Amino acid sequence: MTAAADLHAMGWRPDLATAFAPHELAGRVAARVLSEERGRFLLHDGATTHAATVTGRLRYESAGDPMAFPIVGDWVAATAAADGTATIHSLLPRCSAIVRRAPADHGSGVQAIAANVDTVFIVTSLNGELNLRRMERYLAVAWESGAVPVVVLSKADLDQDVPGHRLAVEAVAPSVEIIVASAVTGDGIEAVRAHLAPGRTVAFIGSSGVGKSTLVNRLAGYELLTTAGIREDDARGRHTTTRRQLVALADGLVIDTPGMRELALNDGDGIASAFEDVEAIAARCRFSDCAHASEPGCAVLSALAAGELDRARLAAFEKLGLEAHRAELANDAVARRAERRKWTAMGRGVERHMDRKYGRER
**What is the rounded distance in angstroms from the CA atom of residue 33 to the CA atom of residue 89?**
13
Residue 113 and residue 87 share a domain? no
pLDDT of residue 232: 43
Please report, for the domain that includes residue 204, its CATH number.
Answer: 3.40.50.300
The set of residues, in sequence order, having a beta carbon less than 8 Å from that of 41 and lying 6+ positions away, is 33, 34, 35, 51, 52, 53, 54, 70, 88
**What is the rounded distance in angstroms from the CA atom of residue 319 to the CA atom of residue 120?**
23
Residue 171 and residue 126 share a domain? yes
Stretch 146-151: mean pLDDT, rounded?
Answer: 96
332-349 per-position pLDDT tens digit: 644 444 444 554 555 555
pLDDT of residue 3: 57
167-194 per-position pLDDT tens digit: 999 999 999 999 999 999 999 999 999 9
**What is the rounded distance in angstroms from the CA atom of residue 195 to the CA atom of residue 240?**
25
The answer to the question of residue 263 being in a domain is no
- Indicate the pLDDT class of residue 121, thresholds 50, 70 and 90: very high
Residue 180 and residue 73 share a domain? no
Share of the chain above pLDDT 70, in %: 82
132-146 per-position pLDDT tens digit: 999 999 999 999 999
The answer to the question of residue 112 being in a domain is yes
pLDDT over threshold 60, residue 231: no
Residue 163 and residue 79 share a domain? no
Q: ∠63-98-238 over CA atoms, to 5°?
A: 110
- Indicate the pLDDT class of residue 353, thresholds 50, 70 and 90: low
Task: Please tell me the total count of domains within the chain.
Answer: 3
Better pLDDT: 327 or 299: 299
Residue 102 and residue 243 share a domain? yes
The answer to the question of residue 56 being in a domain is yes
pLDDT of residue 335: 45
Residue 350 and residue 221 share a domain? no
Residue 278 and residue 185 share a domain? no
pLDDT of residue 329: 73
Domain end residue (candidates: 40, 71, 91) = 91
- Which residues share a beta bridge with 92? none
Domain end residue (candidates: 49, 74, 91) = 91
Share of the chain above pLDDT 90, in %: 59
Please report, for the domain that includes residue 300, its CATH number.
Answer: 1.10.40.50
The answer to the question of residue 158 being in a domain is yes
Residue 120 and residue 79 share a domain? no
- Which residues share a beta bridge with 97? 115
pLDDT of residue 343: 46
Reported in sequence order, the residue ranges of the chain that DSSP labels E, i.e. its strands, are: 29-37, 40-44, 49-54, 75-80, 86-91, 97-101, 110-115, 119-125, 148-154, 177-180, 201-206, 245-249, 252-256
- Indicate the pLDDT class of residue 359, thresholds 50, 70 and 90: low
**What is the rounded distance in angstroms from the CA atom of residue 124 to the CA atom of residue 136?**
12
Stretch 210-233: mean pLDDT, rounded?
Answer: 75
- Indicate the pLDDT class of residue 27, thresholds 50, 70 and 90: very high
Q: Which SS3 state, helix, strand or coil, does residue 56 take?
A: helix
The answer to the question of residue 302 being in a domain is yes
User: What DSSP character marks residue 102?
Assistant: P
pLDDT of residue 357: 58
Domain end residue (candidates: 203, 222, 256) = 256
Stretch 273-300: mean pLDDT, rounded?
Answer: 92
The set of residues, in sequence order, having a beta carbon less than 8 Å from that of 222 and lying 6+ positions away, is none
pLDDT of residue 172: 94
Question: Out of 24-28, 126-130, 251-255, 332-336, which region has the weakest mean confidence (pLDDT)?
Answer: 332-336
pLDDT over threshold 90, residue 276: yes
Q: Which domain holds residue 321?
A: 271-358
pLDDT of residue 332: 60
196-213 per-position pLDDT tens digit: 999 999 999 998 888 888
The answer to the question of residue 321 being in a domain is yes
The set of residues, in sequence order, having a beta carbon less than 8 Å from that of 321 and lying 6+ positions away, is 268, 271
pLDDT of residue 341: 53
Residue 246 and residue 169 share a domain? yes
pLDDT of residue 127: 79
The answer to the question of residue 222 being in a domain is yes
Better pLDDT: 127 or 331: 127
pLDDT over threshold 50, residue 99: yes
The answer to the question of residue 265 being in a domain is no
Pair 92, 30: CB distance under 8 Å: yes
Residue 327 and residue 229 share a domain? no
Residue 57 and residue 26 share a domain? yes
Among 30, 26, 67, 68, which residue's Cα sits nearest to residue 52? 30
Residue 232 and residue 105 share a domain? yes
Please report, for the domain that includes residue 22, its CATH number.
Answer: 2.40.50.140
pLDDT of residue 132: 93
